[in-house]
Amino acid sequence: MSKTLFEKIWDKHVVSAIKDGPSVFYIDRHFIHEVTSPQAFNGLNKRGIKVFRPQQTIATADHNVPTLNQHLPIQEEQSRMQVEALIKNCTAHGVELYGLGHPYQGIVHVIGPELGITQPGMTIVCGDSHTSTHGAFGSIAFGIGTSEVEMVLSTQCLLQTKPKLMRITVDGILKKGVVSKDIVLYILSKISASGATGYAVEFAGAAIRSLSMEARMTICNMSIEMGARCGMIAPDETTYAYIKGRKFAPEGVEWDKKLTYWKTLFSDVDAVFDKEYHFDAADISPMITFGTNPGMGIPITGTIPTKDTVTETDRNGLEQSLRYMGLESGNPILGQKIDYVFIGSCTNSRIEDLRMVANFVKGKRKASNVEVWVVPGSKQVEQQAIQEGIDKIFEEAGFILRQPGCSACLGMNEDKIPQGKYCISTSNRNFEGRQGVGARTLLASPLSAAAAAVTGVVSDIREWLN
Amino acid sequence: MAKKLDIIQSHFVPLPVENIDTDQIIPARFLKATTKEGFGKNLFRDWRYRNNDEAQPIKDFVLNNPLYTGSILVAGKNFGCGSSREHAAWAIADYGFNVVVSSFFADIFKNNALNNGILPVTVSERFLQQIFELSNEALLRINLFDQTIMIGSTGASESFDINPYKKTCLMNGYDDIDYLLSMKDKIQQYEMPITKSLNQLG
């Protein structure tokens, strides 16, 4: 019988099915971090049980860590206590921790792939909605709540109901200046912030195939912004080449065995999806958001929608959104003044993102009205950037290269955008207050963020490319 | 063991806003605690207070309006989207809600709610609008066993879906961890090298 990629992996991980209920679903890899794990460990301790499979659990500190002076003790007391709780819990339960100061520390969705922990065919969870990122390798990867973190810590399983299946195909060739972030913001603008709720989404088509692993991760990362349970892309030569030689990648005979298996991981030609969308890459321009959910995106040369032109899903929320954003219907977004530029987050903080920005800003200088923060996704990304001299390019441009962490993506540590200020951000959410109380976020690609950093206003990167 | 749910009859707090994300329910800066208690005081923090100051409540916001009370929160569609933070469910429960009614729930939030003894009730858009048009004195009656929600004053009612397993859990106060722990033998059997190599797992 024909199966989708999702079904092939799902079927292999069902331990047992409850009649009229969810399945006991086995988890291969569990990532944990300081913010959503302490209450789960408390639960285990209360029951007097240990982590069931510590060798399948990997921890890092990312959400709540400072991105300057990481060698010093964390100053803010609650944050320090949270990070200390993670250290204590990992030690007590024998879980490997890549904490502050460790050469592998970084944003959980950046380090998993870069260490070769994330592999095709796996089931991967983490108490973080952007776990969907790992689906770029052809795995079933999704975010869970803390009660579920406790379930996985104690049994390596979850109770899961099989979602419906959606395929989003993007064919054609991308235009100059358009990158994977634009693809996903475009899809979001078409299907809305709830368009894939209840579905596992497979991204397919020539335009997706043409992307590097890091670019694919950006797309799967934001599948949660459509409400999807997970996003995934079938593994191919690009995937295998990325994994090969990484720290925890299989080697020798083990590699051959796994590779043979990985090559079976694709949706069969006549596999059936519950819903399908088709898009043409040629229709996609550099994108930017104007509102307060990630589905509120427009081409960067477009105008801010009115009640009549906005999608039906966002009609009721448009007025409140624009009031919050201090923007007006009918105005162009190009030329909108920017105060901050944030280049980072699990969406766009990998070495290719930093290279993309560095290539553009080399020899240029940031506009005087903006502050530019570049936050690498991991220690390894940071080291690589230094090795390539990217740090010098940023320094000369007046950008500040900070240390790895989630930073201003969620405004949990001290990296916050002040009230009323505009930030063009390569992160994934433009919700009210996401980057700080009253902060106004415009989501865009690293290229568009770099262009705005140089001009101080929302700018069309294509003006430099011709 | 969570509290058992069966019949809930209460006034309700209306929040007719769509796409309420978990950053609104509980902003990230309040996620630094290592226990589950006390999140209710920061529920909808930045919609509740001006300048992040408890001395400056925003009068228009429904949680600051003493006329609206009850253990049922009624919100616009796509409630709980965004971050997976279970702190959102903890905040809602800690504030005193045990039911959230909406026409559409985000996946992760729905699971988090169920895992904390909060019943998410999905109703039609039309029924949701009927509720929003009611006065603050109206009562809603939710019968989990029958899977129905009824407007007290008009008698209008609708049935709602819930996974039968989850329904049993809520009605009896069971949690998934107890169930999974009881499955340990089966899980270990699944992990046996022979099963594993057959499945070619990672």
ipTM score: 0.95
Tokens of A273: 């999806």
What pLDDT, on the 0 to 100 scale, is given for residue B174?
Answer: 87
Window A:76-115, CB contacts with B under 8 Å? 78-79, 81-82, 85
Q: Are B101 and B123 in contact (CB under 8 A)?
A: yes
Query: What distance in Å separates residue B37's CA from the closest CA in chain A?
Result: 10
Q: Are B68 and B87 in contact (CB under 8 A)?
A: no
Q: Cβ contacts (< 8 Å) between A42 and chain B: which residues?
A: 34-35
Query: What distance in Å separates residue A23's CA from the closest CA in chain B?
Result: 11
What pLDDT, on the 0 to 100 scale, is given for residue A6?
Answer: 98
Tally Cβ neighbours within 10 Å of residue A363: 8
What pLDDT, on the 0 to 100 scale, is given for residue B144?
Answer: 97
A412 touches chain B (CB under 8 A): yes
A146 touches chain B (CB under 8 A): yes
**Sorting pLDDT into bands at 50, 70 and 90, what band is A21?**
confident
Q: For B202, which of A21, A29, A38 is closest by C-beta distance?
A: A29
The whole-angstrom separation of Cα A131 and Cα B108 is: 12
**Sorting pLDDT into bands at 50, 70 and 90, what band is A408?**
very high
What pLDDT, on the 0 to 100 scale, is given for residue A106?
Answer: 98
Q: Is the pLDDT of residue B195 over 70?
A: no
Q: Is the pLDDT of residue B194 over 80?
A: no
Q: Is the pLDDT of residue A49 over 60?
A: yes
Single out the residue of A99, A115, A65 nearest to residue A414, CA to CA: A65
What pLDDT, on the 0 to 100 scale, is given for residue A18?
Answer: 82
* ∠ Cα B112 A377 A335 (to 5°): 95
Mean pLDDT across the stretch A110-139?
98
pLDDT tens per residue across span B145-184: 999 999 999 999 999 999 999 999 999 988 899 999 999 9
What pLDDT, on the 0 to 100 scale, is given for residue A313?
Answer: 86
Q: Do A151 and B28 touch (CB under 8 A)?
A: no
Q: Is the pLDDT of residue A190 over 90?
A: yes
pLDDT tens per residue across span B129-144: 999 999 999 999 999 9
What pLDDT, on the 0 to 100 scale, is given for residue A331?
Answer: 98
Mean pLDDT across the stretch A157-172?
97
Tokens of A20: 């009229």
Q: For A146, which of B18, B19, B86 is closest by C-beta distance?
A: B86
Averaged confidence pLDDT in chain A? 97
Q: Are A129 and B84 in contact (CB under 8 A)?
A: yes
Q: Is the pLDDT of residue B198 over 70?
A: no
Mean pLDDT across the stretch A416-433?
98
Tally Cβ neighbours within 10 Å of residue B37: 9
The whole-angstrom separation of Cα A200 and Cα A99 is: 32
Q: Do A151 and B180 touch (CB under 8 A)?
A: yes
Mean pLDDT across the stretch A276-291?
98
Domains of chain A: 5-275 (3.30.499.10), 287-464 (3.30.499.10)
Residues above pLDDT 70, as percent of chain A: 100
Q: Cβ contacts (< 8 Å) between B75 and chain A: which residues?
A: none
Q: Which residues contact B145 (CB under 8 A, 6 or more apart)?
A: B6, B7, B171
Q: Is the pLDDT of residue A466 over 80?
A: no
Averaged confidence pLDDT in chain B? 94
Q: For B52, which of A85, A146, A437 is closest by C-beta distance?
A: A437
pLDDT tens per residue across span A78-105: 999 999 999 999 999 999 999 999 999 9
HEC per residue, chain A: CCCCHHHHHHHHCEEEECCCCCEEEECCEEEECCCCCHHHHHHHHHHCCCCCCHHHEEEECCCCCCCCCCCCCCCCHHHHHHHHHHHHHHHHHCCEEECCCCCCCECHHHHHHHCCCCCCCCEEEECCHHHHHHHHHCCEEEECCHHHHHHHHHHCEEEECCCEEEEEEEECCCCCCCCHHHHHHHHHHHHCCCCCCCEEEEEECHHHHCCCHHHHHHHHHHHHHHCCCEEECCCCHHHHHHHCCCCCCCCHHHHHHHHHHHCCCCCCCCCCCCEEEEEEHHHCCCEEECCCCCCCEEECCCECCCCCCCCHHHHHHHHHHHHHHCCCCCCECCCCECCEEEECCCCCCCHHHHHHHHHHHCCCCCCCCCEEEECCCEHHHHHHHHHCCHHHHHHHHCCEECCCCCHHHCCCCCCCCCCCCEEEECCCCCCCCCCCCCCEEEECCHHHHHHHHHHCECCCCHHHHC
Query: What distance in Å separates residue A150's CA from the closest CA in chain B?
Result: 8
What pLDDT, on the 0 to 100 scale, is given for residue B35?
Answer: 96
Residues above pLDDT 90, as percent of chain A: 97
A140 touches chain B (CB under 8 A): no
What pLDDT, on the 0 to 100 scale, is given for residue B199?
Answer: 52
Mean pLDDT across the stretch A296-318?
94
What pLDDT, on the 0 to 100 scale, is given for residue A332?
Answer: 98
Query: What distance in Å separates residue B64's CA from the closest CA in chain A?
Result: 19
Tokens of A53: 């499979």
Single out the residue of A90, A232, A262, A254 nearest to residue A168, CA to CA: A232
What pLDDT, on the 0 to 100 scale, is given for residue B2?
Answer: 65
A12 touches chain B (CB under 8 A): yes
Residues above pLDDT 90, as percent of chain B: 90
Query: Dihedrals φ, ψ of A242, to 5°?
Result: -65, -40
The whole-angstrom separation of Cα A184 and Cα A205 is: 14
- A vs B, Cβ pairs < 8 A, gives 196
| Beta strands, E only, chain B | 7-10, 12-15, 72-75, 99-102, 119-122, 140-143, 148-151, 157-159
Suggest the residue from A197, A296, A320, A443 to mutate for an interface test with chain B (most B CBs closer than 10 A). A197
Q: Is the pLDDT of residue B202 over 60?
A: no
Q: Is the pLDDT of residue A236 over 90?
A: yes
Whether the model pTM is above 0.90: yes
**Sorting pLDDT into bands at 50, 70 and 90, what band is B197?**
low
Query: What distance in Å separates residue A412's CA from the closest CA in chain B?
Result: 5
What pLDDT, on the 0 to 100 scale, is given for residue A1?
Answer: 85
